[in-house]
Amino acid sequence: MSETVRAQMASPAATRLRRRRAITADRLIAVLLIAPWKNYAALFNTVRFQIDLGNTVTFTLLFLAICLSVGFTLAVLLDRGIRGEAFFRSIYLFPLALSFIVTGVVWRWLLNPGSVQLGSTGVNLLLDRIGLGMLKTGWYTDPRIGIKAVVIAAVWQMSGYVMAMYLAGLRGIPEELREAARVDGANDLQAYRSIIVPLLHPITLGAIIILGHISLKIFDLVVAMTGPGPGFSSDVPAFFMFDTTFRGNNFAQGAGIAVILLLMVAVLIVPYLVYSLRTETQR
């Protein structure tokens, strides 16, 4: 190495340049590796986000359980060939033609608890008229109910879709299997439990995936019906993301919520896709 180069490297200017580059590299590492985790740690320590995750779990469990139960019950009734089957099938499927915004507005009116000046309205007025006034409640204005009122509207809209899925599955089961069960002495309950319900497992899995991803990213129904609610009792992560990003201009936190929502949906969808691909490969 020449003396000139050594002199340049040993000069104060070159030393300052090397220090500046080292500081810049350290800052870049801190920004890329440390800052994002601090953002997620702060997000999970936010009380509102903790409430939102609890509301999401509550909404998902109730939504799935009630939709599957109501949809399966309606499908079984229609599968028995009742009179006016086409009419009832259309009635059950009609809510599916509406958007969640329309559903939210309608159920906001229906579940409006009323006021002292106007008296009871909507469902509370119906309860008064039929002598069940003791069942009146504040619905979505009551923090103890909150997200459960949103579940009512969501079930009303999506249970018909589940009914259609189960009805298609029931119509695809050969009648010979049911006849064989009757010949063996099985009643209807035993036939459903031992034959029909196991054959409907793929339908049930598909319904769970579809309803599950809807429940995890629910947004428009909450916006139209309740908003965050009193004490964030009906708030959800998607609404929190919208509120944080576009109203609070906190884009970093909003992006963090969006990534968590993506991961939640991926945890539900990816295993199903892997299972489907394996099933298709085995066939």
> Domain of 129: which CATH number?
1.10.3720.10
**b/e code 195-205 from CB counts within 10 Å (16+ = b):** bbeeebeebbe
Indicate whether 67 belongs to any domain: yes
Indicate whether 23 belongs to any domain: no
Task: Give pLDDT, residue 19.
Answer: 58
For the chain, the maximum distance between any two Cα atoms, rounded to a whole number of angstroms, is 104
For residue 131, what is the DSSP state?
Answer: T
Indicate whether 112 belongs to any domain: yes
Task: Give pLDDT, residue 12.
Answer: 61
Query: Lowest-pLDDT range, 48-52, 84-88, 211-215?
Result: 84-88
pLDDT tens digits, 19-31:
555 555 555 555 5
DSSP 66-86: HHHHHHHHHHHHHHT--TTHH
> Which is higher by pLDDT, 195 or 16?
195
Task: Give pLDDT, residue 104.
Answer: 93
In terms of average pLDDT, the best of 33-47, 55-69, 251-265 is 55-69
Indicate whether 25 belongs to any domain: no
Indicate whether 182 belongs to any domain: yes
Query: Lowest-pLDDT range, 19-33, 36-50, 94-108, 135-149?
Result: 19-33
Indicate whether 4 belongs to any domain: no
Indicate whether 70 belongs to any domain: yes
> Averaged over 7-25, what is the pLDDT?
55
Query: Lowest-pLDDT range, 5-19, 40-54, 102-116?
Result: 5-19
> Which is higher by pLDDT, 214 or 33?
214
What is the signed CA dihedral for 74, 76, 77, 79, rounded to 10 degrees?
Answer: 120
For residue 280, what is the DSSP state?
Answer: H
Q: pTM here? A: 0.83
> Which is higher by pLDDT, 203 or 34?
203
Task: Give pLDDT, residue 22.
Answer: 53
Q: Which pLDDT band, with edges at 50, 70 and 90, does 90 fall under?
A: confident
Task: Give pLDDT, residue 7.
Answer: 46
Domain span at residue 181?
A: 49-282
> Averaged over 8-19, what is the pLDDT?
55
pLDDT tens digits, 218-265:
999 999 998 898 989 999 999 999 999 998 888 888 988 999 999 988
The domain tally of the chain equals: 1
Residue closest to 101 by CA, chosen among 214, 219, 212, 215: 219
Indicate whether 102 belongs to any domain: yes
For residue 117, what is the DSSP state?
Answer: T
